[in-house]
Amino acid sequence: MSTLGELRALRRRGARSTKRDNKAAFWFLLPWFAGLLFITLGPIAASFGLGFTKYNLIQPPRFIGLGNFARILTDERLHNALGVTFTYVLVSVPLQLACALGVAMLLDRGMRGLAFYRSAFYLPSLLGTSVAIAVLWRQIFGTEGLVNQLLGLVGITGQGWISDPSSALSTLIVLNVWTFGAPMVIFLAGLRQIPTVYYEAAAIDGAGRWTRFRRITLPLLSPIIFFNLVLQVIHAFQSFTQAFVVSGGTGGPADSTMVYTLYLYQQGFGRFDMGYASALAWFLLLIIAGITGINFWAAKHWVFYDD
């Protein structure tokens, strides 16, 4: 009986201790829940409601139904921004993934100083979306910038890469491709998971490097490629800082760098048309969700899972 009583006492003390731990965890998590409610979910719900109103921050919101969404269909400047954004995504994301995979394969050869090179290539991913790098990029591709100075050394007359509508978007694409470090690290981890016995068997059968890359590396790495593709497409659609800084917030020249998020910003904080800006934000969400859904649907035709 004495032993049974001691066990019951231990259980009661354990239950009280668990209750205290749960209460402490709740209080520690309370700031996070408050932030989720008032900083994330609250603004999301508010923007959805404002999407059906005309609101200029001064006068109370006025309900206009689907007026803002109907305006999306006839807004020619928005259609231009959509074209610029899709061009930016379709060109920069494949180039970025190709660079990331190429560098990852070079680093996977077991060279000395791997940690240094991995950090060096990853660093642009941390800095690429910063205002400082965007300002630096503007100077590099300016009329008197580093690019034109290098071209001058070989007798080529440069141009105003940022001030020319035909090349302004290309500078943003190059900047996005330059930040290939994050997908490169993921590719490198994926390459390390491919058993070397596959390559050894293929080499014995006489397969060359290209055949081994096409028949072994790409199929076994396809889940990682798909993962990086989805992430980078979403990230590219949300690109804002580079276009804002390089164009001085105008999307110029001639709207050649007017990406979707910059146009949304101009409507919300330039023209104080918060209702239309909210509708644009939800329309962008639908675009990203649709393209992500297409990517998942297409994945079953080219992504290989080695069970």
Q: What single DSSP character describes residue 63?
A: E
pLDDT of amino acid 92: 95
**Token reading at 258:** 């007017």
Distances (CA, A) of 293 to 122, 151, 281, 282, 286: 29, 43, 18, 16, 10
- Cα separation, 307 vs 297, whole angstroms: 20
Helix (H) or strand (E) holding 260, with range, is: helix 260-265
Would you say how long the chain is, in residues?
A: 307
CATH of the domain at 163: 1.10.3720.10
CB 159 within 8 A of CB 78: no
pLDDT of amino acid 235: 93
- The answer to whether residue 287 sits within a structural domain is no
Mean pLDDT per 10-residue section of the chain, whose length is 307 residues: 72 78 88 90 93 92 94 94 96 95 87 76 73 79 83 81 87 89 91 90 89 92 95 94 87 91 94 94 96 95 81
**Token reading at 270:** 């330039």
- The answer to whether residue 28 sits within a structural domain is no
- What's the alpha-carbon Rg for the chain, to the nearest Å? 26
pLDDT of amino acid 269: 92
pLDDT of amino acid 129: 66
Maximum alpha-carbon separation in the chain: 99
Angle at 135 between CA 145 and CA 131, to 5 degrees: 160
- The answer to whether residue 260 sits within a structural domain is no
The SS3 assignment for 282 reads: helix
Distances (CA, A) of 269 to 55, 152, 154, 276, 303: 12, 41, 45, 11, 42
- The answer to whether residue 39 sits within a structural domain is no
Nearest CA to 180 out of 247, 114, 127 is that of: 127
CB 274 within 8 A of CB 66: no
- The answer to whether residue 232 sits within a structural domain is yes
- The answer to whether residue 41 sits within a structural domain is no
Would residue 305 be called left, alpha or beta, if left means φ above 0 and alpha means ψ between -120 and 50 degrees?
A: beta
- The answer to whether residue 154 sits within a structural domain is yes
Residue that has been written with the tokens 């035909």 in this structure: 166
- The answer to whether residue 57 sits within a structural domain is no
**Token reading at 5:** 């009583």
Domain containing 146: what range?
Answer: 82-251
State the total domains in the chain: 1
**Token reading at 66:** 């689907």
Helix (H) or strand (E) holding 54, with range, is: strand 53-54
Distances (CA, A) of 129 to 88, 173, 243: 15, 13, 10
pLDDT of amino acid 128: 64
Quote the distance between the C-alpha of residue 96 and its chain's center. Answer: 11
Nearest CA to 249 out of 270, 234, 278 is that of: 270
Nearest CA to 292 out of 243, 230, 246 is that of: 230
